Amino acid sequence: MARKSGKYSPELRAEVVAAVIEGGRTYAEVARDFGLVAETVRNWVVTERKKNAGGGDEAAGAIDRARTAELERRVRELEQENAFLKKAAAFFAREQR
């Protein structure tokens, strides 16, 4: 039975896959650099290649997805900060009256 792992971020996975595919490095070299197990790196690369079996630049797709996820996370963070600042501004505006 396969289990879904959430231990590593999509950004890390994309970076590791790109290092193997674009960098032409071995699984073991990349695993050692990132503190991972070589088999984990191999699994990520195989999975990414299967996703992009239709052709195209495989690593670019992984990098784009990771970048999109990072940007979406940053947008959520900034929206939360803006909401807090609006509440703080309203609080201090009431207090000065």
- In CATH, what number is assigned to the domain containing residue 38? 1.10.10
**Contacts with 39 (C-beta within 8 Å, 6 or more apart), sequence order:** 27
Q: What is the C-alpha end-to-end distance of the chain, expressed in Å? A: 64
Count of domains for the chain = 1
Query: Six-digit token pair at 13?
Result: 């996975």
Residue 4 lies in a domain: no
Residue 2 resides in a domain: no
Domain that holds residue 79: 10-95
Residue 12 has pLDDT above 70, yes or no: yes
Confirm whether 87 is domain-assigned.
Answer: yes
**To the nearest whole percent, how much of the chain has pLDDT over 70?**
87
Is the pLDDT score of 97 beyond 90? Answer: no
Could you tell me if residue 32 is inside a domain? yes
* Residue 81 counted as domain residue: yes
Structural contact between residues 62 and 13, judged by C-beta atoms closer than 8 angstroms: yes
With bands split at pLDDT 50, 70 and 90, how would you rate the model's confidence at 57? low
Domain-located, residue 1:
no
Which tops the pLDDT comparison, 76 or 95? Answer: 76
Give the dihedral sign, CA 30/36/41/42: positive
Query: How far apart, in whole angstroms, are the C-alpha atoms of residue 16 and residue 30?
Result: 7
